[in-house]
Chains A and B, each alone.
Chain A
């Protein structure tokens, strides 16, 4: 690849006391692509995501945004760099409507310091329209009245509104039915189509193989391999997840068995 990745991690190390959670993890996410981050439970996916989001500080290693090494000391730093994390439990307020949720904490005000409802409503409509969302009847309905898929849509559309450069989706389809999963995956593709670097954290191999351009596999705190989607089969990815290696791919036998102790 000749392009500079939107996000590149080099040699990330993270320990909690004596527990070494991440060791020399390398990972890249390109603008306009969906990069899946997969791994078994306890492989370090969540820790890695929290390191990118500034919730944890890395012990060593570099976070490079758009070619420039940056230090991320907190969630605010990450937000300023354009990193948005869409959490599994969504973090929406049921008693507020879609517009109010999308602008939560970042409300627009008029010159008289009152809420600028009209411009917020317009921007929310545009953000949803740009993702070709047709499932939402009115942007003024309460989030409580939305289905799981619609809620996920609102949470993702929020990142479009805020022009995020890196959007991390934490298990976006875990709680959804088949049709809604399809809708959300379409949404993920369209989000990437707008030039965003999307990182999809998922357990679901079908989802990953369907939408990802690139797949990063964590195995016991190490990056077993980051491969292009079209170069691997689902079986290979599953082997990488469970054993850390698959044929020529992945960790050396010594590393994968040594780490399992």
Chain B
């Protein structure tokens, strides 16, 4: 019986001598396109709705408000979107299991409050405070995951409780002053308010594009060696060129001096992309790798798709469940730090209000399902940009006392729309 597979291999090779060698050229491109169209019609929409939405609302705002695509505003958009995107990346893991973390916002607020208080009232160095804040996030996530997986309380209830409780803890920590201002000299502030030198920005872009191309080509070559069907090189080339063009446009626009009060001093220039972009790219690459290329990532999808089947297949379902809460709260802590960097302070209501709603909205708009099993890290990025564009554009459109009110209404409506879309697509998939 040990030579069982070998026999099968032999049979198989006799059956189909050279018939499966993938064809090249237009035929391959046609087959690839047909396969793609079939998948889209089958309900695997991927990033299409988010991309279309992003383009449409960007065009609308750019037409209504001419300054919308200015370098100054693009930078504002990116640094506004960053905390939302980071939190949404973590939330995607929880959502993939069909769970929810309502406390991600206040967890981030609490962790940034711990960091700020350590730095300013206890004289801890910035990096130590940062690490302690992140560890606090991880511990919180473990606790909530344990309550969900081992005690069996629904995640909705656990995180609703911690949502409220952490808000209280932050309030107690920050105290009556209402906020803790971070020192200007702190490297933490640089993340959102300081810029990558131009030469480094272009170098990083080049590295990123070359790395992406290398991975894609290597995958395709590996599949060809294995005799499997693969994406035509034309498609890979198109993707690489599109990525390079987008990246170059962004890097170029960020290279324009945005300092409005221009004067003779060279040192006063504001140009280059914000450092947080580099952080976003790294976080994206890491989590995308984890979800798509490791056994752990595969098991996260499996548990989200069918927990019973995963259990029978020998997957440690409880451990997976705890781990996603750890990742989510850890990323919420990072998001809290980024938000603190953006505001240069930590408020007593940090992470409360609509922080979580925006992040969940980002994930869902990006294409992550609230029912579990479907979602990718890119969803957080695209959805986060959509949310940031809406907030940014609305604040330009509606000025005055009620602007925040309109912003809430529109964001809520978009989230509901995305969730409805998700539910309808899911029904289409099931049939």
A binds B: yes
Chain A residues whose C-beta falls within 8 Å of the C-beta of B295 in the assembled complex: 107, 109, 115
Cβ contact within 8 Å between A91 and B301: no
Interface residues of A in 120-165 (CB under 8 A from B): 121-123, 125-127, 129-130, 138, 142, 144-145, 160, 163, 165
Interface string of B286-317 (1 = CB under 8 A from A): 00000001110011011011101110111100
Separation of A165 and B4 alpha carbons in the complex (Å): 11
Whether B222 is near chain A, meaning CB under 8 Å from some CB there, is: yes
Instruction: Report how many residues on chain A are interfacial, defined by Cβ distance under 8 Å.
Output: 38
B228 x A95 contact (CB < 8 A)? no
- A100 sits at the interface (CB 8 A): yes
A66 to chain B, nearest CB (A): 10
B73 to chain A, nearest CB (A): 38
B407 at the interface (CB under 8 A from A): no
The total of interchain contacts (Cβ-Cβ below 8 angstroms) comes to: 98
* B226 touches A (CB below 8 Å): yes
B226 touches A107 (CB 8 A): no
Contacts A163-B4, A163-B5 known; A93 to B301 CB distance under 8 Å? yes
Min CB–CB distance B300 → chain A (angstroms) = 11
User: B264 at interface (Cβ–Cβ under 8 A)?
Assistant: no
Cβ-defined partner of B373 (8 Å) among A87, A93, A114, A129: A93
Q: Does B65 contact A (CB under 8 A)?
A: no
- By a CB distance below 8 angstroms, the chain A residues around B309 are 90-93, 104
**Which chain B positions have C-beta within 8 A of A129?**
8, 11-12, 15
Residues of A within 8 A of B222 (CB): 118
Minimum CB–CB distance for A25 against chain B, Å? 25
Let me know if A106 is at the binding interface, CB within 8 A: yes
A119 close to chain B: CB less than 8 A: yes
- Chain B interface size, as a band, is 35 or more
Q: Within the assembled complex, what's the spacing in Å between the Cα atoms of A87 and B308?
A: 12
B238: Cβ under 8 A from any A Cβ: no
- For the complex, is A61 an interface residue (Cβ under 8 Å from B)? no
Whether A122 and B314, one on each chain, are in contact in the complex, defined by CB atoms closer than 8 angstroms, is no
CB-based contact A165/B1 at 8 Å: yes
> Interface centre among A115, A165, A195, by most B CB within 10 Å?
A115
Q: Once the chains are docked, how many angstroms separate the CA of A123 from the CA of B227?
A: 12
Contacts of B306 in A (CB 8 A): 91-94
- Contact between B8 and A126, CB atoms less than 8 A apart: yes
Could you say which residues of chain A place their CB within 8 Å of the CB of B1?
A: 163, 165, 195
Whether B211 is near chain A, meaning CB under 8 Å from some CB there, is no
List the A side residues contacting B5 at CB < 8 Å. 123, 126, 163
Which one of B35, B228, B294, B310 contacts A114 once the chains associate, using CB atoms below 8 Å?
Answer: B294
Whether B315 and A104, one on each chain, are in contact in the complex, defined by CB atoms closer than 8 angstroms, is: yes
B429 close to A (CB within 8 Å): yes
What is the bound-complex CA distance between A170 and B245, given in angstroms?
Answer: 55
Complex Cα spacing A96 to B299, Å: 10
Contact of B430 among A96, A123, A138, A144 (CB under 8 A): A144
CA distance A195 to B5 in the complex (A): 13
Tell me if B293 and A130 are in contact (CB < 8 A): no
Name the residue of chain A whose CB is nearest to the CB of B44.
A142
A121 touching B313, Cβ below 8 Å: no
Say how far A125's CB is from chain B's closest CB, in angstroms: 8
Excluding A75-B312, A129-B15, 9 further A-B contacts by CB distance (< 8 Å) are A104-B315, A109-B295, A121-B228, A125-B12, A126-B8, A142-B42, A144-B430, A163-B5, A165-B1
Interface of A toward B, CB cutoff 8 Å: 75-76, 87, 90-96, 100, 104-107, 109, 113-115, 118-119, 121-123, 125-127, 129-130, 138, 142, 144-145, 160, 163, 165, 194-195
B residues at A contact (CB < 8 Å) = 1-2, 4-5, 8-9, 11-12, 15, 35, 42, 44, 222-223, 225-229, 293-295, 298-299, 301-302, 304-306, 308-310, 312-315, 373-374, 429-430
For the complex of A and B, the 5 pairs showing the least CB-CB separation, nearest first, are A105-B313, A93-B305, A95-B373, A95-B305, A91-B309
A-B contact list, 29 entries, CB within 8 Å: A76-B314, A91-B309, A93-B309, A93-B310, A93-B373, A95-B304, A95-B373, A96-B302, A100-B298, A100-B301, A104-B309, A104-B310, A105-B315, A106-B314, A107-B298, A109-B295, A113-B294, A114-B293, A121-B228, A122-B226, A126-B8, A138-B229, A144-B429, A160-B8, A163-B4, A163-B5, A194-B4, A195-B1, A195-B4
